Amino acid sequence: MKTCAWTGVLAFGVTGVVSDVQAATVFTGFDVVFSKSAFSAETDVITSSVAITRGDNQGIYNATAESSYDKSTKLAPAGTAWAFGSNNPGETISAANWASLTFEPWAAALGGAGQLLGNITAGPGVLYLADEDVYLDIRFTEWGVVGGGPFVYERSAVPEPAGVLGVLGLGLLMRRR
């Protein structure tokens, strides 16, 4: 479970910066659609430390830290925590509301074995990226139970760090002149 005690937040969404820079970064909206087809290797690279995918069956995992879903640890995906309506009854499930939510491993946040399939496409969720201290909106729209592990979700866009891109871009511009 993730306990949230931060006071300030940097929030990006369709409307841009929402408040001041203090601790966590929040991205809202559903700007990115990720789809993994049956028996394929598509991976959603969200940041340098989190890349979400799924094997031919079972749950999702972080391909930067894990080679497959490990249901024995019940902590997958590594480096993430999740909030859904099933583990936050009565709460508004939105990255903008992160401080009021309870975060758990993915399967536990969806109610665990026996409840996951009924809850996964039931509504929005919030994905927490621990290494970056980032919260983003996410909602699963499809979940294949047979046929090679297909799934589809929509999530907030997470831009590349401006410092890295800015320095690289400046170097490229200087070489072209």
- Residue 81 contacts residue 105 (beta carbons within 8 Å): yes
Domain layout of the chain by residue ranges: 9-176
Structure tokens at 66: 């894990």
Model pLDDT for residues 126-166, shown as the tens digit of each residue = 999 999 999 999 999 999 987 789 999 999 999 976 544 44
Alpha-carbon distance 137 to 103, whole Å? 13
Alpha-carbon distance 164 to 172, whole Å? 12
Q: Which residues contact 32 (CB under 8 A, 6 or more apart)?
A: 44, 154, 155, 156, 157
Model pLDDT for residues 57-115, shown as the tens digit of each residue = 889 999 999 999 988 777 889 999 999 999 999 999 999 999 999 999 999 999 988 89
Q: Which residues contact 61 (CB under 8 A, 6 or more apart)?
A: 52, 53, 54, 55, 67, 68, 69, 70, 76, 77, 78
- Residue 105 contacts residue 94 (beta carbons within 8 Å): no
| Average pLDDT over every residue of 5-22 | 36
pLDDT at 61: 95
User: In this structure, is the dihedral angle defined by the CA atoms of residues 48, 49, 54 and 55, taken in order, positive or negative?
Assistant: positive
Strand order in the sheet with 44-47: 44-47, 50-54, 60-62
